[in-house]
Chain A
Amino acid sequence: MDGPLICLAGFGLVVALLLLRVPIAVSLGVVGLGGLALLLSPEAAVIKAGVVTFTTISHYELGTLPLFLFMAHILFSAGVSTRLFDVAARFVGHKPGGLALASIAGCAAFGTVSGSSLATAATMGLVALPEMKKAGYDPRLSTGSLAAGGTLGVLIPPSGALIVYGVIAEQSIGKLFTAAIFPGLSQAALYLVVVWLICRLNPSLGPVQPRRPWRERLAALGGIADIMALVLFVLAGIVIGWFTPTEAAAIGCIGALVIAAARRKLAIAMLRNAVAETLRTAGMLYLVIIGALIFSAFVSATDFASLISSWVEAIPGGKFGAILLMVVVLLVLGMFLDGMGIMLLMTPIFLPIIQQYGLSPIWFGIFLVRTIEMGFLTPPVGMNVYVIHGIAPDIPVSTIFRGVVPFYLADLVHLAMLIVLPAITLWLPSVVGG
């Protein structure tokens, strides 16, 4: 059997193992090791595993991941989640669909802390869903806006997915964060437009709430000013170049501890819980990255990427044809597989093609994460939909999927914008350097 065929068999085996609920890290790692043992030698596979492991756990830039997770968990303990929605609701709650608008704004703000789609959907869902239910919102609008809004957590920096992509694609995490700012903001803006349009066509779907006086709005804003100032400082520091992403995460942790102390939430039990949650998530992600890097080494050894490249060259439409094909593959895979798994599986295949067409790997990172995000909304897996269903079990999953449809259409428009206008992604890093 030749290399590319072994690689195809490897892909099939990974998918089969994933469907049998073998952890993502294990599926990628075991198949990668088996493939390397077959193509090179068992000895070479084991040594490769050792090299990849220690390189990964001592990787300076990858240290960004646990530190940003730590910052997020400290801030969660300081009560950041409930306040973000509350502030947005006081500002726009009196508009048609105002609480849905506030949910999306809250998700975007929460995304600057969390970096996770599921965490954003779950946290904002817990806070915003009861409020929208009480206000008589249509369940399709309330759940759809929260499930879609949750996906903002993946793209808006700091993003765990972008950190992982940066490591496996050997790209600057600072540049990726900088590049993600406008795509994240434009995605949030499109979601807001969707809610506005829905409620303009049928205002009864999102009834208006009493207008809050400015005194109350500003008081609420004051309650999150410290957190927003910290987040802006950390992101601005990366964009301007005051510090590296790893240093930014460290500064963010210190700031989060100061905020927690100022709010009288800093205690041994809280710190212990934040460390435990950070270790739990970071450990899972480290093992996934190690598995993916081993799998990536296997794919490289098969020379599969060059075979795919020659196929892609034959596709009509040049680079747009190739990108369209990638979109289709990613969206289809997104229906069945976890986003991180897809990214780790497909990056070694797609990235060389992107580079062959002279496209930017930074742009590709944003495109990849943005496309994969959409898998959080599509059946049958649609993780965000199930997260929201878990919070509101009385609302059928089919209702939530229907509520997501307008946002999914907005996602397609947004994706087309990112493809046709790469400047949305690349302009800011080209100006500030990242």
Chain B
Amino acid sequence: MKRPGEGIGGVLLATGGIGLLGAMLTDAIAVVGRHVGVPFTGSIELVQAFIVLGASSAIAYASLGATHAAVDLVFHRMPLSAQHLAHRLAALLGFLFVAALLAGSAWIAWEYRDAGERTELLGIELKWLRLFWLACALIAAAAMLAPLFARKPPADSASPGEGH
């Protein structure tokens, strides 16, 4: 498995880490505050913002590492040429899927561009979160497309059944 730790991967690791640690600290402070009688108003909105940061980074990071779960039942019993073809099909469909997510998200972001979308309590502007996701989706789409131009499928591409 490729392990993206440098370049774009390093940036995603940093933003994802900020998202995880931010959500963790905000929720922990909110719990303590609630139990000592000092409620953290708007903590859920802040956690949601950190979760967008973490989840967006995670999707792009997982796509860069080509670690999306797949079923490995008959693939290795197929002839090599068919494996190559199936690998390219997976790459093409993966790109089309993430590109559709990107297009739909961009469409909605464009529709809301002048609406001044903000969270209720803290007034966090959602457009920055949407933009961050769009950037991550762009990286994920590009990463999905990359194997289409590879000469042959990597031996350990897409670890099977990681869902559980």
**Which residues of A are interface residues toward B (Cβ below 8 A)?**
17-27, 29-30, 33, 45-51, 53-54, 56-60, 62-63, 66-67, 70, 116-118, 153-154, 160-161, 242-243, 246-247, 249-251, 253-254, 271-272, 275-276, 278-288, 290-291, 336-341, 376, 380-381, 383
Q: Report, nearest first, the 7 A-B pairs whose CB atoms are least far apart.
A: A340-B163, A50-B104, A283-B62, A250-B27, A283-B58, A49-B104, A23-B68
Given the known interface contacts A67-B23, A118-B164, the answer about A53 and B133 at a Cβ–Cβ threshold of 8 Å is yes
Q: How far is the CA of A306 from the CA of B163 in the complex (A)?
A: 29
Secondary structure of the B contact surface, majority rule: helix
Given the known interface contacts A24-B71, A53-B133, A247-B30, the answer about A338 and B58 at a Cβ–Cβ threshold of 8 Å is no
Given A19-B74, A22-B90, A57-B59, 5 new contacts (CB under 8 A): A21-B75, A63-B51, A66-B23, A254-B25, A282-B58
Q: CB within 8 A of A246: which of B47, B98, B161?
A: B47
A-facing residues in B1-33 (Cβ within 8 Å): 3, 5, 12-13, 16-17, 20, 23-28, 30-31
B73 touching A19 by the CB < 8 A rule?
A: yes
B24 touching A250 by the CB < 8 A rule?
A: yes
B87 touching A21 by the CB < 8 A rule?
A: yes
Contacting residues, chain A, for B90 (C-beta < 8 A): 20-23, 26
**Which residues of B are interface residues toward A (Cβ below 8 A)?**
3, 5, 12-13, 16-17, 20, 23-28, 30-31, 35, 44, 47-48, 51-52, 54-63, 65, 67-75, 86-87, 89-90, 93-94, 96-98, 100-101, 103-108, 129-130, 133, 137, 158, 160-164
Q: How far is the CA of A117 from the CA of B163 in the complex (A)?
A: 9
Given the known interface contacts A254-B28, A338-B163, the answer about A46 and B100 at a Cβ–Cβ threshold of 8 Å is yes
Beta-carbon nearest neighbor of B68 in chain A:
A23
Contacting residues, chain A, for B3 (C-beta < 8 A): 276
Q: CB within 8 A of A278: which of B20, B73, B94, B107?
A: B20
Contacting residues, chain B, for A58 (C-beta < 8 A): 48, 51-52, 55, 129
Given the known interface contacts A26-B97, A46-B104, A284-B67, the answer about A21 and B62 at a Cβ–Cβ threshold of 8 Å is no
Contacting residues, chain A, for B65 (C-beta < 8 A): 280
Given the known interface contacts A20-B90, A46-B107, the answer about A247 and B31 at a Cβ–Cβ threshold of 8 Å is yes
Secondary structure of the A contact surface, majority rule: helix
A338 touching B27 by the CB < 8 A rule?
A: no
A-B contact pairs, 29 of them (CB 8 A): A19-B75, A25-B68, A26-B93, A27-B93, A49-B100, A49-B101, A50-B103, A50-B104, A50-B106, A54-B130, A58-B55, A66-B58, A246-B23, A247-B31, A250-B31, A251-B31, A254-B25, A272-B17, A279-B13, A279-B16, A282-B54, A283-B61, A283-B67, A286-B58, A288-B163, A336-B71, A338-B161, A376-B164, A383-B161
Q: CB within 8 A of B62: which of A53, A279, A376?
A: A279
B20 touching A275 by the CB < 8 A rule?
A: yes
